Amino acid sequence: MITLAGVIGSGKSSLTRILADELHTTPFFEPVADNPVLPLFYKGNEQAAKARANGNPNASNPYTYLLQTFFINRRFAMIKKAIQGRNNILDRSILEDEMFMKMNTDMGNATHLEFSVYEELLHNMLAELDAMKPTNTHDLLIYIRVSYDTMIHRIEKRGRDYEQISTDPSLVEYYHTLLQYYADWEKNYNRSAMMVIDGDQYDFVERPADRNLLLDQIEQQLVDLGTLSSQESADLHQHRQI
């Protein structure tokens, strides 16, 4: 599998579409449009932040555990489908979900008991996925690293109200914290090969030259991992020049 990773607004879904079209494989997208919990989660974060600011240090978000369980349940089902093909693409890693839950626990948006139960569930899922994978398979994680300014610009551009710092000022702290956790997550990731993309430097959505350069680099990574042949990579490159 190929898995995309990165903060909100880094371009994971866009690059997933681009790669799936390029490699003629199947993309699997994070459930957002049909996620009834996500708007509740953002509202719960806002309410918990206000309660803590008003003297209730133990105020938590009642929707954090529900949201993160919703995500890993959907992601678990998608991964089971994705591993049945070759170079299928997921637009977020299930291990990012664990990082989100840990961060929200540290911030007081979830309890330590909720995190403990969540972590046990996730690790059971990961063990089952490992048992399902064919032997001698090699996965690639593509991490899109972006700055706060780039993240905010792209969040504003896609226009989801509940993600906007203009609507909810408490998101400024939340997004800065998220970037810090992602930096640590990147350093400690060891589950598969990782390729890091500078999302501030490369605009693979708006600039075709950037997109082609990154596709060549990603395909070389796949060749090195043995999940794409040199001839297939050369053919894909040639097709893009036509």
Residue type, 143: Y
Count CB-CB contacts under 10 A for residue 22.
18
pLDDT > 90? residue 28: yes
Provide the Cα torsion 2, 79, 121, 4; round to 10°: 30
Lateral strand order in the sheet of 140-145 = 27-28, 89-90, 2-5, 140-145, 193-198
110 touches 50 (CB < 8 A): no
Structural domains of the chain, with CATH: 2-241 (3.40.50.300)
Instruction: Give the range among 93-97, 122-126, 161-165, 199-203 with minimum mean pLDDT.
Output: 161-165
Kindly report, residue by residue over 109-153, the tens digit of the pLDDT: 888 999 999 999 999 999 999 898 877 678 999 999 999 999 999
Q: Which of residues 178 and 49 earns the better pLDDT score?
A: 178
pLDDT > 70? residue 242: no
Catalytic annotation, residues: 91
The reported pLDDT for the residue numbered 121 is 96
Provide the Cα torsion 214, 84, 102, 154; round to 10°: 30
